Amino acid sequence: MIGPSLVQFLIALIIAAVLWLLIFGLKVVNFWWGMMIASGLLSLWAIIWAGEDRKRLFEFRSIYIIWGVGSAAILYIVFWIGEAVSTRIFGFASSQIDSIYANKAQINPWILATLLLFWIGPAEEIFWRGMGQYQLSKWFGPNVGWIMGAFVYAAVHLWAANFILFMAALIGGLYWGWLYKRFGSLWPGIISHALWDLVVFLILPLK
């Protein structure tokens, strides 16, 4: 018999896939406002769904700040190298990266900075790691759940028909997923994701 947690999990993934289709594929809304609404609704669902596990998911220690900042810096270097390599190997990489950055024109940079740092990055971690990877790890174990969670996170980005974006989401999903697997708290990934978003889009963009 299918349990309520499985039903809720599948419904959440279907809703996420539809929202990402509207934002990345059909582009029916402003990209950043769409991401704010979608990630906010999904993270709220994840927080409510977490129930008694909420305290553990949001356990905070000061060392998480160091891990979050340091891991964001390391991931930026990984993507800086990846951009240099991919644009030399794949002829389409440069135009696909340009299309990702083109979304910046849809919103004031100060508003974008606020959304990335305090809303979109944290909300994505709460949903994709706090609900997605968490539940998959309960069913399949921490290692398989980590890998599956990263692929599910990357899969919803396929709507954009952008290979570079898919690989970026996969690498990010594996990276932030490892932080969650390592600490059992969402805070290292939240800090890392939010800071990385801010740096890669606004402070030191790759293109």
Say if residue 188's pLDDT is above 90: yes
Q: How confident is the model at residue 3 (pLDDT cuts 50, 70, 90)?
A: very low
Q: Any idea what DSSP says for residue 118?
A: I
Say if residue 190's pLDDT is above 70: yes
Say if residue 2's pLDDT is above 90: no
Residue 170 has φ and ψ, to the nearest 5°, of -65, -45
User: CB of 192 within 8 A of CB of 67?
Assistant: yes
Report in angstroms the alpha-carbon separations of 207 from 29, 95, 97, 193: 24, 11, 8, 19
Distance CA 120, CA 112 (A): 10
Mean pLDDT for 108-114 is: 98
% of the chain at pLDDT higher than 90: 92
Q: How confident is the model at residue 167 (pLDDT cuts 50, 70, 90)?
A: very high
Q: How confident is the model at residue 201 (pLDDT cuts 50, 70, 90)?
A: very high
Mean pLDDT for 114-143 is: 96
Every domain of the chain and the residues it spans: 4-50+62-203
Mean pLDDT for 85-103 is: 96
3-state secondary structure of 173: helix
